[in-house]
Structure 1
Protein backbone atom coordinates (compact mmCIF):
# COMPACT_ATOMS: atom_id res chain seq x y z
CA UNK A 1 0.00 0.00 0.00
CA UNK A 2 2.84 2.38 0.88
CA UNK A 3 4.53 1.72 -2.49
CA UNK A 4 1.26 2.36 -4.33
CA UNK A 5 0.77 5.61 -2.40
CA UNK A 6 4.28 6.77 -3.27
CA UNK A 7 3.70 5.80 -6.94
CA UNK A 8 0.42 7.75 -7.27
CA UNK A 9 1.84 10.73 -5.36
CA UNK A 10 4.80 10.81 -7.75
CA UNK A 11 2.46 10.84 -10.75
CA UNK A 12 0.42 13.71 -9.31
CA UNK A 13 3.57 15.74 -8.54
CA UNK A 14 4.91 15.12 -12.03
CA UNK A 15 1.65 16.26 -13.68
CA UNK A 16 1.52 19.36 -11.45
CA UNK A 17 5.14 20.21 -12.32
CA UNK A 18 4.58 19.84 -16.08
CA UNK A 19 1.33 21.82 -15.97
CA UNK A 20 3.01 24.70 -14.18
CA UNK A 21 5.29 25.14 -17.20
CA UNK A 22 2.41 26.07 -19.50
CA UNK A 23 1.06 29.62 -19.66
CA UNK A 24 -1.96 30.96 -21.51
CA UNK A 25 -1.12 31.86 -25.09
CA UNK A 26 -3.10 35.09 -24.95
CA UNK A 27 -3.87 37.46 -22.12
CA UNK A 28 -6.98 39.66 -21.91
CA UNK A 29 -6.64 43.16 -23.35
CA UNK A 30 -7.11 45.88 -20.74
CA UNK A 31 -8.40 48.91 -22.61
CA UNK A 32 -8.85 51.00 -19.48
CA UNK A 33 -11.67 53.48 -18.96
CA UNK A 34 -10.60 56.23 -21.37
CA UNK A 35 -10.49 54.38 -24.68
CA UNK A 36 -13.13 55.18 -27.29
CA UNK A 37 -15.40 52.25 -28.16
CA UNK A 38 -14.58 52.59 -31.86
CA UNK A 39 -10.86 52.47 -31.04
CA UNK A 40 -11.39 49.12 -29.27
CA UNK A 41 -12.85 47.68 -32.46
CA UNK A 42 -9.50 48.12 -34.21
CA UNK A 43 -7.97 45.38 -32.09
CA UNK A 44 -8.49 41.78 -33.07
CA UNK A 45 -7.66 38.42 -31.51
CA UNK A 46 -4.94 37.34 -30.88
CA UNK A 47 -2.91 40.57 -30.77
CA UNK A 48 -3.71 44.25 -30.53
CA UNK A 49 -0.23 45.12 -31.85
CA UNK A 50 0.17 43.15 -35.05
CA UNK A 51 -2.71 44.25 -37.29
CA UNK A 52 -0.97 42.76 -40.33
CA UNK A 53 -1.97 39.32 -39.08
CA UNK A 54 -5.55 39.48 -40.36
CA UNK A 55 -5.34 36.51 -42.68
CA UNK A 56 -5.34 34.01 -39.79
CA UNK A 57 -8.44 31.88 -40.15
CA UNK A 58 -10.12 31.92 -36.75
CA UNK A 59 -12.98 29.44 -36.72
CA UNK A 60 -15.14 31.43 -34.31
CA UNK A 61 -15.15 34.77 -36.18
CA UNK A 62 -18.76 34.02 -37.04
CA UNK A 63 -21.00 37.08 -36.92
CA UNK A 64 -18.71 39.07 -34.65
CA UNK A 65 -17.29 42.41 -35.84
CA UNK A 66 -13.94 40.80 -36.64
CA UNK A 67 -15.75 38.46 -39.04
CA UNK A 68 -17.56 41.44 -40.57
CA UNK A 69 -14.31 43.29 -41.30
CA UNK A 70 -12.70 40.15 -42.64
CA UNK A 71 -15.63 39.38 -44.96
CA UNK A 72 -15.83 42.89 -46.41
CA UNK A 73 -12.05 43.09 -46.85
CA UNK A 74 -12.02 39.78 -48.71
CA UNK A 75 -14.83 40.94 -50.99
CA UNK A 76 -13.19 44.29 -51.69
CA UNK A 77 -9.51 43.39 -52.09
CA UNK A 78 -8.87 39.83 -50.92
CA UNK A 79 -7.58 41.53 -47.75
CA UNK A 80 -4.66 43.31 -49.46
CA UNK A 81 -3.65 46.62 -47.91
CA UNK A 82 -1.80 47.87 -51.02
CA UNK A 83 -4.45 46.90 -53.56
CA UNK A 84 -5.39 49.53 -56.15
CA UNK A 85 -8.17 48.53 -58.52
CA UNK A 86 -8.68 49.65 -62.12
CA UNK A 87 -10.83 52.59 -60.99
CA UNK A 88 -8.25 53.85 -58.51
CA UNK A 89 -9.90 52.63 -55.31
CA UNK A 90 -7.34 52.06 -52.59
CA UNK A 91 -6.40 49.59 -49.91
CA UNK A 92 -7.89 46.71 -48.03
CA UNK A 93 -11.40 48.21 -48.01
CA UNK A 94 -11.14 49.98 -51.39
CA UNK A 95 -11.63 53.65 -50.55
CA UNK A 96 -12.12 56.33 -53.17
CA UNK A 97 -10.03 59.49 -52.84
CA UNK A 98 -13.12 61.65 -52.29
CA UNK A 99 -14.36 59.33 -49.54
CA UNK A 100 -10.99 59.51 -47.81
CA UNK A 101 -11.13 63.31 -47.87
CA UNK A 102 -14.63 63.22 -46.38
CA UNK A 103 -13.23 61.49 -43.26
CA UNK A 104 -10.13 63.69 -43.00
CA UNK A 105 -7.49 61.76 -44.97
CA UNK A 106 -5.82 63.81 -47.72
CA UNK A 107 -2.63 61.85 -48.43
CA UNK A 108 -3.63 58.75 -50.39
CA UNK A 109 -0.04 57.46 -50.65
CA UNK A 110 0.41 57.59 -46.89
CA UNK A 111 -2.98 55.90 -46.49
CA UNK A 112 -2.03 53.07 -48.84
CA UNK A 113 1.15 52.36 -46.89
CA UNK A 114 -0.37 52.53 -43.42
CA UNK A 115 -2.43 49.45 -42.42
CA UNK A 116 -3.40 50.92 -39.06
CA UNK A 117 -4.73 54.05 -40.75
CA UNK A 118 -6.76 51.91 -43.14
CA UNK A 119 -8.38 50.07 -40.22
CA UNK A 120 -9.20 53.37 -38.51
CA UNK A 121 -10.63 54.73 -41.76
CA UNK A 122 -12.93 51.72 -42.11
CA UNK A 123 -14.37 52.12 -38.61
CA UNK A 124 -14.66 55.90 -39.05
CA UNK A 125 -16.61 55.53 -42.29
CA UNK A 126 -18.95 53.05 -40.61
CA UNK A 127 -19.57 55.64 -37.87
CA UNK A 128 -20.32 58.32 -40.46
CA UNK A 129 -22.70 56.06 -42.38
CA UNK A 130 -24.39 54.90 -39.20
CA UNK A 131 -25.21 58.51 -38.36
CA UNK A 132 -26.36 59.32 -41.90
CA UNK A 133 -28.56 56.22 -42.03
CA UNK A 134 -29.73 56.08 -38.41
CA UNK A 135 -33.37 56.70 -39.35
CA UNK A 136 -33.28 54.01 -42.06
CA UNK A 137 -31.71 51.52 -39.66
CA UNK A 138 -34.44 52.25 -37.14
CA UNK A 139 -37.28 52.13 -39.69
CA UNK A 140 -36.25 49.20 -41.90
CA UNK A 141 -34.22 46.81 -39.72
CA UNK A 142 -35.93 43.44 -39.58
CA UNK A 143 -38.04 43.98 -42.70
CA UNK A 144 -37.70 41.79 -45.79
CA UNK A 145 -37.30 43.82 -48.98
CA UNK A 146 -36.90 42.20 -52.38
CA UNK A 147 -36.19 38.91 -50.63
CA UNK A 148 -33.48 40.32 -48.34
CA UNK A 149 -33.77 40.71 -44.58
CA UNK A 150 -32.60 44.21 -43.72
CA UNK A 151 -30.07 44.52 -40.89
CA UNK A 152 -27.85 47.27 -39.57
CA UNK A 153 -24.64 45.56 -40.69
CA UNK A 154 -26.04 45.00 -44.17
CA UNK A 155 -27.06 48.66 -44.47
CA UNK A 156 -23.59 49.83 -43.40
CA UNK A 157 -21.87 47.45 -45.82
CA UNK A 158 -24.10 48.58 -48.68
CA UNK A 159 -23.27 52.20 -47.84
CA UNK A 160 -19.58 51.29 -47.98
CA UNK A 161 -20.18 49.98 -51.49
CA UNK A 162 -22.30 52.74 -52.96
CA UNK A 163 -22.68 55.50 -50.39
CA UNK A 164 -25.59 56.39 -48.12
CA UNK A 165 -27.63 57.78 -51.01
CA UNK A 166 -27.81 54.47 -52.88
CA UNK A 167 -28.98 52.66 -49.75
CA UNK A 168 -31.69 55.27 -49.18
CA UNK A 169 -32.89 54.95 -52.78
CA UNK A 170 -33.04 51.17 -52.54
CA UNK A 171 -34.99 51.21 -49.28
CA UNK A 172 -37.27 54.11 -50.22
CA UNK A 173 -38.33 52.30 -53.41
CA UNK A 174 -38.68 48.94 -51.62
CA UNK A 175 -35.96 47.49 -53.83
CA UNK A 176 -37.17 48.82 -57.18
CA UNK A 177 -34.06 50.96 -57.64
CA UNK A 178 -31.28 48.42 -58.28
CA UNK A 179 -28.34 50.66 -57.36
CA UNK A 180 -24.97 49.27 -58.51
CA UNK A 181 -21.32 50.26 -58.44
CA UNK A 182 -19.10 50.67 -61.50
CA UNK A 183 -18.42 46.93 -61.62
CA UNK A 184 -22.10 46.03 -61.49
CA UNK A 185 -22.22 44.92 -57.84
CA UNK A 186 -25.59 45.84 -56.36
CA UNK A 187 -26.55 47.37 -53.05
CA UNK A 188 -28.88 44.40 -52.64
CA UNK A 189 -25.91 42.01 -52.83
CA UNK A 190 -24.15 43.75 -49.94
CA UNK A 191 -27.35 44.00 -47.90
CA UNK A 192 -27.69 40.23 -48.21
CA UNK A 193 -24.06 39.06 -47.93
CA UNK A 194 -23.16 41.22 -44.93
CA UNK A 195 -26.43 41.08 -43.04
CA UNK A 196 -26.69 39.83 -39.48
CA UNK A 197 -23.21 40.78 -38.22
CA UNK A 198 -22.75 42.50 -34.86
CA UNK A 199 -22.13 46.21 -35.49
CA UNK A 200 -23.90 47.48 -32.38
CA UNK A 201 -20.72 48.92 -30.88
CA UNK A 202 -20.12 51.22 -33.83
CA UNK A 203 -20.95 54.74 -32.71
CA UNK A 204 -23.06 56.96 -34.94
CA UNK A 205 -20.95 60.11 -35.42
CA UNK A 206 -21.95 63.10 -37.51
CA UNK A 207 -19.20 64.00 -40.03
CA UNK A 208 -16.85 61.47 -38.40
CA UNK A 209 -13.14 62.09 -39.00
CA UNK A 210 -10.12 59.83 -38.45
CA UNK A 211 -8.39 60.82 -35.24
Structure 2
Protein backbone atom coordinates (compact mmCIF):
# COMPACT_ATOMS: atom_id res chain seq x y z
CA UNK A 1 0.00 0.00 0.00
CA UNK A 2 2.80 2.37 0.94
CA UNK A 3 4.60 1.53 -2.34
CA UNK A 4 1.45 2.34 -4.32
CA UNK A 5 1.07 5.71 -2.57
CA UNK A 6 4.73 6.50 -3.16
CA UNK A 7 4.43 5.57 -6.84
CA UNK A 8 1.30 7.69 -7.25
CA UNK A 9 3.05 10.64 -5.60
CA UNK A 10 5.96 10.34 -8.02
CA UNK A 11 3.60 10.26 -11.02
CA UNK A 12 1.71 13.31 -9.78
CA UNK A 13 4.98 15.18 -9.21
CA UNK A 14 6.22 14.41 -12.73
CA UNK A 15 2.86 15.38 -14.20
CA UNK A 16 2.94 18.71 -12.37
CA UNK A 17 6.43 19.50 -13.64
CA UNK A 18 5.42 18.72 -17.24
CA UNK A 19 2.28 20.85 -16.93
CA UNK A 20 4.25 23.84 -15.68
CA UNK A 21 6.77 23.46 -18.50
CA UNK A 22 4.04 24.09 -21.10
CA UNK A 23 2.84 27.44 -19.83
CA UNK A 24 0.93 29.60 -22.30
CA UNK A 25 3.10 32.12 -24.14
CA UNK A 26 2.02 35.70 -24.57
CA UNK A 27 0.36 36.51 -27.92
CA UNK A 28 2.47 38.57 -30.33
CA UNK A 29 1.27 42.15 -30.81
CA UNK A 30 1.15 42.80 -34.59
CA UNK A 31 -0.18 46.34 -34.31
CA UNK A 32 3.27 47.79 -34.88
CA UNK A 33 3.51 45.95 -38.21
CA UNK A 34 0.67 47.80 -39.93
CA UNK A 35 1.08 48.47 -43.69
CA UNK A 36 -1.23 51.49 -43.58
CA UNK A 37 0.08 54.34 -45.69
CA UNK A 38 2.71 52.24 -47.48
CA UNK A 39 2.88 52.14 -51.31
CA UNK A 40 2.49 48.46 -52.07
CA UNK A 41 1.93 48.80 -55.87
CA UNK A 42 4.15 46.46 -57.85
CA UNK A 43 3.90 45.11 -61.38
CA UNK A 44 5.18 41.55 -61.21
CA UNK A 45 6.85 40.28 -64.40
CA UNK A 46 6.02 36.86 -65.68
CA UNK A 47 8.80 34.28 -65.77
CA UNK A 48 9.78 35.07 -69.37
CA UNK A 49 10.12 38.79 -68.61
CA UNK A 50 12.77 38.51 -65.92
CA UNK A 51 15.96 40.16 -67.11
CA UNK A 52 18.58 37.53 -67.87
CA UNK A 53 22.24 37.95 -67.03
CA UNK A 54 23.13 37.31 -70.68
CA UNK A 55 21.25 40.29 -72.14
CA UNK A 56 22.82 41.81 -75.24
CA UNK A 57 25.15 44.62 -74.20
CA UNK A 58 27.20 46.61 -76.71
CA UNK A 59 29.12 49.59 -75.34
CA UNK A 60 30.30 50.30 -78.90
CA UNK A 61 26.82 50.51 -80.41
CA UNK A 62 25.24 52.12 -77.35
CA UNK A 63 21.77 53.55 -77.91
CA UNK A 64 22.17 53.94 -81.66
CA UNK A 65 19.90 52.38 -84.28
CA UNK A 66 22.45 49.60 -84.72
CA UNK A 67 22.41 49.02 -80.98
CA UNK A 68 18.61 48.88 -81.10
CA UNK A 69 18.32 46.34 -83.89
CA UNK A 70 21.04 44.11 -82.45
CA UNK A 71 19.41 44.21 -79.01
CA UNK A 72 16.05 43.22 -80.50
CA UNK A 73 17.74 40.48 -82.55
CA UNK A 74 19.46 39.11 -79.47
CA UNK A 75 16.17 38.88 -77.62
CA UNK A 76 14.39 37.31 -80.59
CA UNK A 77 16.94 34.73 -81.70
CA UNK A 78 20.30 35.38 -80.00
CA UNK A 79 21.19 37.01 -83.33
CA UNK A 80 20.95 33.79 -85.34
CA UNK A 81 19.93 34.27 -88.99
CA UNK A 82 19.23 30.56 -89.44
CA UNK A 83 16.96 29.77 -86.50
CA UNK A 84 13.29 28.73 -86.70
CA UNK A 85 11.29 28.51 -83.47
CA UNK A 86 8.57 26.01 -82.58
CA UNK A 87 5.87 28.32 -83.90
CA UNK A 88 7.50 28.71 -87.32
CA UNK A 89 8.93 32.22 -86.85
CA UNK A 90 12.10 32.57 -88.85
CA UNK A 91 15.50 34.16 -88.77
CA UNK A 92 17.36 36.74 -86.76
CA UNK A 93 14.24 38.86 -86.13
CA UNK A 94 11.72 35.97 -86.01
CA UNK A 95 9.39 36.87 -88.86
CA UNK A 96 6.16 35.04 -89.62
CA UNK A 97 5.00 34.36 -93.17
CA UNK A 98 2.13 36.86 -92.91
CA UNK A 99 4.47 39.70 -91.96
CA UNK A 100 6.87 38.83 -94.78
CA UNK A 101 3.98 38.91 -97.26
CA UNK A 102 2.99 42.32 -95.88
CA UNK A 103 6.40 43.82 -96.64
CA UNK A 104 6.68 42.29 -100.09
CA UNK A 105 8.66 39.11 -99.48
CA UNK A 106 6.72 36.47 -101.39
CA UNK A 107 7.63 33.45 -103.42
CA UNK A 108 10.77 32.67 -101.44
CA UNK A 109 11.40 29.42 -99.63
CA UNK A 110 12.10 29.22 -95.94
CA UNK A 111 15.66 28.08 -96.58
CA UNK A 112 16.32 30.88 -99.04
CA UNK A 113 15.11 33.43 -96.49
CA UNK A 114 17.18 31.92 -93.69
CA UNK A 115 20.28 31.90 -95.87
CA UNK A 116 19.92 35.54 -96.91
CA UNK A 117 21.09 37.82 -94.04
CA UNK A 118 20.89 40.93 -96.23
CA UNK A 119 17.22 40.28 -96.97
CA UNK A 120 16.49 39.73 -93.27
CA UNK A 121 18.06 43.09 -92.44
CA UNK A 122 15.97 44.78 -95.13
CA UNK A 123 12.86 43.06 -93.80
CA UNK A 124 13.50 44.36 -90.30
CA UNK A 125 13.93 47.94 -91.49
CA UNK A 126 10.90 47.77 -93.80
CA UNK A 127 8.66 46.47 -91.03
CA UNK A 128 9.91 49.16 -88.63
CA UNK A 129 9.29 51.79 -91.29
CA UNK A 130 5.74 50.61 -91.93
CA UNK A 131 4.97 50.37 -88.21
CA UNK A 132 6.33 53.86 -87.62
CA UNK A 133 3.87 55.16 -90.20
CA UNK A 134 0.94 53.20 -88.71
CA UNK A 135 1.78 54.49 -85.22
CA UNK A 136 2.75 58.03 -86.22
CA UNK A 137 -0.09 59.69 -84.30
CA UNK A 138 0.42 57.51 -81.24
CA UNK A 139 4.13 58.36 -81.19
CA UNK A 140 3.19 62.03 -81.26
CA UNK A 141 0.61 61.68 -78.49
CA UNK A 142 2.25 59.26 -76.06
CA UNK A 143 6.05 59.52 -76.27
CA UNK A 144 7.29 61.04 -73.02
CA UNK A 145 4.37 59.80 -70.95
CA UNK A 146 4.62 57.07 -68.34
CA UNK A 147 2.36 54.04 -68.67
CA UNK A 148 2.29 51.11 -66.26
CA UNK A 149 5.48 52.44 -64.72
CA UNK A 150 7.36 52.59 -68.04
CA UNK A 151 8.27 55.71 -69.98
CA UNK A 152 6.92 55.58 -73.53
CA UNK A 153 9.71 56.08 -76.08
CA UNK A 154 9.75 55.72 -79.85
CA UNK A 155 12.14 52.79 -79.81
CA UNK A 156 10.09 51.02 -77.14
CA UNK A 157 6.93 51.45 -79.19
CA UNK A 158 8.59 50.17 -82.37
CA UNK A 159 10.05 47.17 -80.55
CA UNK A 160 6.63 46.38 -79.08
CA UNK A 161 5.10 46.63 -82.55
CA UNK A 162 7.65 44.12 -83.80
CA UNK A 163 6.51 41.78 -81.03
CA UNK A 164 2.76 42.28 -81.13
CA UNK A 165 1.94 44.16 -84.33
CA UNK A 166 1.18 47.88 -84.59
CA UNK A 167 -2.57 47.58 -83.98
CA UNK A 168 -2.07 45.77 -80.67
CA UNK A 169 0.36 48.50 -79.58
CA UNK A 170 -2.13 51.16 -80.65
CA UNK A 171 -4.82 49.56 -78.48
CA UNK A 172 -2.42 49.31 -75.57
CA UNK A 173 -1.45 52.98 -75.73
CA UNK A 174 -4.95 54.32 -76.31
CA UNK A 175 -6.37 52.26 -73.44
CA UNK A 176 -3.77 53.64 -71.07
CA UNK A 177 -2.06 50.27 -70.87
CA UNK A 178 -5.22 48.38 -69.93
CA UNK A 179 -5.67 46.51 -73.22
CA UNK A 180 -2.58 44.34 -73.07
CA UNK A 181 -1.01 41.61 -75.19
CA UNK A 182 1.20 38.61 -74.55
CA UNK A 183 2.81 36.38 -77.15
CA UNK A 184 2.99 32.59 -77.02
CA UNK A 185 5.88 32.83 -74.57
CA UNK A 186 4.03 35.24 -72.27
CA UNK A 187 6.08 38.29 -73.28
CA UNK A 188 4.12 41.56 -73.08
CA UNK A 189 4.05 44.94 -74.79
CA UNK A 190 5.00 46.60 -71.50
CA UNK A 191 8.11 44.44 -71.23
CA UNK A 192 9.32 45.29 -74.75
CA UNK A 193 8.62 48.97 -74.21
CA UNK A 194 10.74 48.88 -71.06
CA UNK A 195 13.55 46.71 -72.36
CA UNK A 196 14.03 48.57 -75.66
CA UNK A 197 13.25 52.10 -74.54
CA UNK A 198 15.57 55.05 -75.13
CA UNK A 199 17.29 54.03 -78.37
CA UNK A 200 17.71 56.47 -81.25
CA UNK A 201 15.38 55.24 -84.01
CA UNK A 202 15.25 58.53 -85.92
CA UNK A 203 17.09 56.68 -88.72
CA UNK A 204 13.83 54.83 -89.45
CA UNK A 205 11.62 56.84 -91.80
CA UNK A 206 7.86 56.23 -91.69
CA UNK A 207 6.61 54.67 -94.91
CA UNK A 208 3.16 53.23 -95.41
CA UNK A 209 4.27 51.15 -98.39
CA UNK A 210 7.67 50.02 -97.13
CA UNK A 211 8.88 46.86 -98.84
CA UNK A 212 11.98 44.69 -98.56
CA UNK A 213 13.17 44.18 -102.12
CA UNK A 214 14.77 40.93 -103.22
CA UNK A 215 18.21 41.20 -104.83
CA UNK A 216 18.09 40.12 -108.46
TM over 0.5: yes
1:123 matched residue in structure 2:
125
Distance (Å, rounded) in 2 between the aligned partners of 1:165 and 1:182:
17
Superposition misfits of 4+ residues, deviation over 2 angstroms: 57-60
1:206 matched residue in structure 2:
208
1:180 aligns with 2:182: yes
Deviation at 1:162, TM superposition (A): 0.5
Closer, same or farther: CA 58–151 of 1 in aligned 2, 3 Å: closer
Deviation at 1:109, TM superposition (A): 2.9
Distance (Å, rounded) in 2 between the aligned partners of 1:134 and 1:111:
29
After the TM superposition, which residues 9-158 of structure 1 pair with which residues of structure 2 at under 5 Å, given as runs?
Answer: 59-106=59-106, 107=108, 108-158=110-160
Deviation at 1:62, TM superposition (A): 1.0
Q: CA RMSD in A?
A: 1.4
Deviation at 1:201, TM superposition (A): 1.5
Distance (Å, rounded) in 1 between the aligned partners of 2:156 and 2:183:
16
Provide structure 1 residue ranges, at least 5 long, that are not aligned to the other structure: 1-56
State the secondary structure of the residue aligned to 1:165. Answer: helix
Q: Which has the larger radius of gyration?
A: 2
Deviation at 1:165, TM superposition (A): 1.1
Deviation at 1:58, TM superposition (A): 5.0
Provide structure 2 residue ranges, at least 5 long, that are not aligned to the other structure: 1-56
State the secondary structure of the residue aligned to 2:179. Answer: coil
Distance (Å, rounded) in 2 between the aligned partners of 1:59 and 1:150:
23
Alpha-carbon displacement from aligned partner over 1:90-131 (angstroms, at most 9, x marks no partner): 000000000000001111332111000000110110000000
Alpha-carbon displacement from aligned partner over 1:136-157 (angstroms, at most 9, x marks no partner): 0000000001101001100000
2:22 matched residue in structure 1:
none
2:36 matched residue in structure 1:
none
Deviation at 1:66, TM superposition (A): 1.1
1:27 matched residue in structure 2:
none
Give me the TM-score of the superposition, normalised by structure 2: 0.70
Distance (Å, rounded) in 2 between the aligned partners of 1:129 and 1:152:
11
Deviation at 1:197, TM superposition (A): 0.2
